[in-house]
């Protein structure tokens, strides 16, 4: 299993600003994922971030709004840009073990936009 | 369009009894079905999975049953323990994507 940490654990931000969330893994992994969980909703995949290539975004998510960096095999960042109250969510990163569907999640970043 | 549905937002079960969490899905192409468990302020943790070619998988107190004809799966926890109180997410995997349900909050009563 992998141990994943995220920073910050929570933040309150004003609309129109941007927040960068960091995800650190204790081992080298190829595939990292970013999810969003809006209040009362399921986890929704934002993008898949593989080291050495551009992130692959899911329908409804765009790079200008959620730019992702993946500089090495243990670290990734997700930026939530030009925030609005609708971006208030928990943002989680995860990594896949040997099998894609067995993912290990970080503790999440709880974002509130006012 | 929800591909994975958990119709019970919450469930309360007496300690020592069986907890049964249910999940329905719509996409016949899913190849793995999963259950994740989440405690407050923590990320989800993988609990158990089942391949679409099987109908049962057991791991200690946890058993997952798959009924493909009904597009239904369930998680049985027996006996239920206080530490089982958490939110349980049903999920399904296809083409390297995982689709999650909204979760069921399980309360284990003393």
Give me the mean pLDDT over the A56-63 stretch: 94
- Residues of B contacting chain A (CB within 8 angstroms): 2, 4, 32, 34, 41-46, 49, 89, 91, 93, 96-103
What is the rounded average pLDDT of the residues A51-59? 87
Q: Which of A43, A96, A99 to mutate to test the interface with B (most CBs of B within 10 A)?
A: A43
Instruction: Name B65's Cβ contacts closer than 8 Å, sequence gap at least 6.
Output: B55, B56, B73, B74, B76
Which member of B34, B41, B43 has the closest CB to residue A105? B43
- Arithmetic mean of pLDDT, B47-53: 95
| Nearest CB to B102 within list A41, A104, A108 | A41
Residues A66-85 have a mean pLDDT of: 95
**What band does A54 get if pLDDT is binned at 50, 70 and 90?**
confident
Q: What is the pLDDT of residues A36-51, one digit of tens each?
A: 999 889 999 999 998 8
Helix, strand, coil shares of chain B, percent, nearest 5, are 5, 55, 40
Instruction: Tell me how far apart the alpha carbons of residues B72 and B97 are, in angstroms, rounded to a whole number.
Output: 19
Per-residue pLDDT band at B1 (split at 50, 70, 90): low
* Partner-chain contact B45 A43, CB within 8 Å: no
Chain B residues within an 8 Å CB radius of A43: 44, 89, 100
| Chain B residues inside the 8 Å CB shell of A4 | 43
Residue of B nearest to A58 (CA): B97
Residue A47: strand pairing partners: A34, A57
Whether residues A42 and B42 touch (CB distance < 8 A) is answered with no
Residues B16-44 have a mean pLDDT of 95
Residue B95: band (very low, low, confident or very high) from pLDDT cuts 50, 70, 90: confident
- Looking at residue A74, what DSSP letter applies? T
Share of chain A above pLDDT 70, in %: 100
Mean model confidence pLDDT for chain B: 95
Strand order across the beta sheet in which B56-59 lies: B4-5, B19-25, B72-77, B62-67, B56-59
> For the residues B9-33, what does the mean pLDDT come to?
96
Contacts with B63 (C-beta within 8 Å, 6 or more apart), sequence order: B56, B57, B75, B76, B78
**Residue A21 near residue A36, CB atoms below 8 Å:** no
Q: Which of the four pLDDT bands, split at 50, 70 and 90, describes residue B75? A: very high
Q: Rounded to a whole number, what is the distance in Å from the CA of A77 to chain B's nearest CA? A: 17
Mean pLDDT over B79-93 rounds to: 97
**Quick one: pLDDT at residue A17?**
97
For the record, the structure tokens of B69 come out as 């004809």
């Amino acid at each position: 299993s992998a141990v994943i940490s995220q920073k910050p654990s929570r933040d309150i931000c004003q609309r129109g600003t941007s927040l960068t969330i960091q995800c650190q893994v204790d081992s080298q992994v190829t595939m990292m994922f970013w999810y969003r969980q809006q209040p009362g909703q399921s986890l929704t995949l934002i993008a898949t971030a593989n080291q050495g290539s551009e992130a692959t975004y899911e329908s409804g998510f765009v790079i200008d709004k959620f730019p992702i960096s993946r500089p090495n095999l243990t670290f990734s960042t997700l930026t939530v840009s030009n925030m609005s109250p609708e971006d208030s969510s928990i943002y989680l990163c995860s990594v896949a073990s040997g099998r894609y569907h067995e993912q290990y999640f970080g503790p999440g970043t709880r974002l509130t936009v006012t | 369009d929800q591909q994975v549905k958990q119709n019970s937002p919450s469930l309360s079960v007496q300690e020592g009894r069986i907890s049964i969490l249910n999940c329905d899905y719509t996409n016949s192409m899913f190849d793995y079905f999963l259950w994740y468990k989440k405690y407050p302020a923590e990320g989800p943790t993988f609990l158990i999975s089942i391949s679409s070619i099987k109908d049962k998988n057991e791991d200690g107190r946890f058993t997952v049953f798959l009924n493909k004809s009904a597009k239904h799966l369930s998680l049985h926890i027996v006996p239920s323990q206080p530490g089982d109180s958490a939110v349980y997410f049903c999920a399904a995997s296809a083409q390297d994507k995982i689709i999650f349900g909204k979760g069921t909050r399980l309360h284990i009563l003393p």
